[in-house]
A and B are shown apart, each in its own frame.
Chain A
């Protein structure tokens, strides 16, 4: 597939780019531009109400300013986020904006010139008025490549993407030979960001060289790990970057059709991706004879029905073909025999989003970032017990400590760090001793965890490791398709053992059985889901065996988390006699006053351990504690 008529491709695109640039410039020349962060995280925090408030107030004030939605900047903890760019001022980012603040911003900043510094998070550019986001401690470690556009352009407007240099890499690629592109990707050392870290260039070459036509390109957006939302954020904030990656991939491997597989639980990602596809089609960036070349490529969006296992490539293909989403044996790999038995390239959302940058800036630029065997950046979704929840992108080789403590600002309330669950249910729990580990594909695998897709859940002293292992195993066990023996029955047996431990039951020798079984499930399962399902348990047992032993031997949960192993107790000396907060809040009337001394007592028989009393007890008394084992409660 050779692209002919090269000058016309470049000049056709130049025209499109010129129009997009003009529209972008028009935006910059307006009185002020208001951008409301309205990805799922922003919407959950009330971004749509804020958007409405801006529109209403502007109308009321008779102002004609562009207001539009942008995606996620990564500062999910500060949502709803609004960026206002007003000529004469730096672009200012406001945090936790509500409709009232929106009104004030219109009246005082857009109409007047008070920039309302009390609501500011930071500024996008260096200036003398507002501290820049670049001066934040986290900025020292972050390097935004594929998240660069996220939160700064309207994902529903293709012109924003094009004006910022979008689709130029694809036009450049059209003027190269497919082999040259594959070589560049190979040289860049890009590894698949879906989790396993397979060399992307190798996959492309295998697919291109495989006999059989047509070939297909599939974008895997079936992100399903608890605590991971990177792919969602990219599809919601910058869908064209993924489409451009697929176009380049399609041209390189010689495919004519592509599919974006997104889970149906991501309605906004589905909506924005669909819109992006139709806009690209309108400009002939998709479709027949793209931009006048002889390369034709179109993409369809396919919604997955919510099965985690469909993130596994053979199961994903089965699901695309209309069959039940169960995996098959590999080899043959999809690159050789995939969709309908044809060579099929499957890449993760993030992997594809990197492609335009590699083509644009070259492999050498890419290898300059990150570590030797894992070049480039890594995107992490920070969740759990961390101050700055949200998205971040750091060069590979950054340590866990830098990500959690510098980018994430550590643990709320200054509590001690206990572990980080990295890579979701396929990854592992790493303890404090691993904090200085430089993160890349190989170092994490060595530590027993896995890069996975990039979810990072931070745990503190209140999290019980046995319960965490049980939680993740319950997830994989529920999401197992049930096809193969090890995953269907092995994870079930493991889950039963872990559930026993959280109830203080089981025997010490069960720990050995659990370890053996976990190793066998890892070695014996048919697909990646089963093979990685034991990881949380195995790392947990390796680093936190003492917690398992406390549960089994003493019936004690050191983190005071496992319900059956704790009891709530009111310390008589601390209890304020006239306060009835706990009594009033108890859902099962388990709390009563001592008949003579008036302090409160919990009837352990009635108590359902919901913890409401603990939150209800005013902080100045702090009279209620959790004890483990329950026999610790004084008679």
Chain B
């Protein structure tokens, strides 16, 4: 496989031609916060807006999941402008998330906790108002529960269900602030096409999908 050399945070690394900066960094133990990215995706979703990096020669921060590696590229994951955007994004997500780590089954393995710690952002953000949607929890599946109030709309579950398993029980519905992950016709998951494989639960980075 052809590779190119680039520098991320001062560390010289090699990455396959055509690879995105995000995966090149992660493969070399350089962490960049991310929620929606999947390595097996042909086109990046680029919706969580967390993986900001600065690249020499570019005037503005860019998302690492959409940027293809180039020979001699110099990437900085700790630039102030990039961190500012990433912090605002995680704070926005936290401000509209239930964040009850004390009673959440995912606590300790939750990506939100990890990202907040990495970016040095408090889980209970003060900058923004808490705006919750107070949606009902769906526990109709025999295998897992779905709490939409803890969902960050990263789409990991949908992509697993659709691409890897070819089921397509899950999808996005509604617009704007009301957008949510749900089933066809907003049916309870237990009455949908769901085959109870549990792969979506494994893919969920937050406490939105948890095994019973």
Contact = CB atoms under 8 A, between A and B. Distances in A.
Contacts of B2: none
Interface in B100-120: none
B121 interface: no
Interface string A316-336: 000000001000110000000
Contact of A489 (B52, B61, B63, B92): B92
B176 A493 contact: no
Interface in A464-493: 477-486, 488-490, 492-493
Given A324-B172, A328-B43, A526-B49, A482 B92 contact: no
Nearest to A309: B175
Contacts of A486: 49, 88-89, 92
Given A489-B177, A524-B49, A482 B85 contact: no
B127 A520 contact: no
Contacts of B63: 329
B175 A493 contact: no
Interface in B34-64: 43-44, 46-50, 52, 60-61, 63
Contacts of A478: 175-176
Contacts of B134: none
B95 interface: yes
B139 interface: no
A484 B43 contact: no
Contacts of A525: 49
Given A520-B85, A524-B85, A485 B128 contact: no
B174 interface: yes
Interface string A504-534: 0000000001001100100111100000000
Contact of A496 (B50, B129, B172): B129
Contact of A477 (B49, B92, B176): B176
B76 interface: no
A488 B176 contact: yes
B46 A485 contact: no
A588 B25 CA distance: 66
B186 to A, nearest CB: 15
Given A480-B176, A520-B84, A524-B85, A492 B43 contact: no
Contacts of A363: none
A553 B178 CA distance: 33
A485 B96 CA distance: 11
Contacts of B66: 329
Contacts of B127: 513
Interface of A, helix, strand, loop or mixed by DSSP? helix
B172 A490 contact: no
B98 to A, nearest CB: 14
A493 B128 contact: yes
A485 B176 contact: no
A517 B50 CA distance: 15
Contacts of A307: 175
Nearest to B66: A329
Interface in B128-180: 128-129, 131, 152-153, 172, 174-179
Contacts of B48: 484-485
A488 B179 contact: yes
A289 to B, nearest CB: 37
- Greatest chain B CB density within 10 A among A489, A497, A526 is at A489
Interface in A15-58: none
Contacts of A497: 129
B93 interface: yes
A477 B84 CA distance: 22
Nearest to A486: B49
Interface residues of B, number: 33
Contacts of B96: 489, 492
- Greatest chain A CB density within 10 A among B48, B176, B178 is at B176
B152 to A, nearest CB: 8
Nearest to B87: A520
A520 B174 CA distance: 24
A480 B131 CA distance: 17
B49 A479 contact: no
Contacts of B61: 523
B177 A492 contact: yes
Nearest to B61: A523
A489 B93 contact: yes
B84 A480 contact: no
Nearest to A484: B47
B174 A524 contact: no
- Greatest chain B CB density within 10 A among A307, A480, A482 is at A482
Given A482-B176, A493-B95, A496-B131, A524 B47 contact: no
A310 to B, nearest CB: 11
A493 B92 contact: yes
Given A490-B92, A523-B60, A523-B85, A485 B47 contact: yes
Nearest to B173: A324
Nearest to B174: A482
Contacts of B152: 485
A173 B28 CA distance: 55
A243 to B, nearest CB: 32
Contacts of B46: 328-329, 484, 526
Nearest to B171: A324
B92 A485 contact: yes
A478 B175 CA distance: 8
Interface in A46-77: none
Interface string B19-34: 0000000000000000
Contacts of A482: 153, 172, 174-179
Nearest to A307: B175
A236 B5 CA distance: 56
- Greatest chain B CB density within 10 A among A477, A483, A497, A517 is at A483
B10 to A, nearest CB: 25
Contacts of B60: 523
B177 A477 contact: yes
Given A526-B46, A526-B49, A490 B153 contact: no
A488 B177 contact: yes
A323 B101 CA distance: 36
A513 B179 CA distance: 25
A486 B43 CA distance: 20
Contacts of A524: 49, 52, 85, 88-89
B88 A490 contact: yes
Contacts of B92: 485-486, 489-490, 493
A488 B128 contact: no
Contacts of B88: 486, 490, 516-517, 520, 524
A517 B89 CA distance: 10
Contacts of B93: 485, 489
B173 to A, nearest CB: 9
Contacts of A481: 175-176, 179
A34 to B, nearest CB: 46
Given A478-B175, A524-B49, 16 more contacts: A324-B172, A329-B43, A478-B176, A481-B175, A482-B176, A484-B48, A485-B47, A485-B49, A485-B92, A492-B177, A493-B95, A517-B128, A520-B85, A520-B88, A523-B85, A526-B49
10 contacts: A324-B172, A481-B175, A483-B153, A484-B48, A484-B49, A486-B88, A496-B129, A516-B88, A524-B52, A524-B88
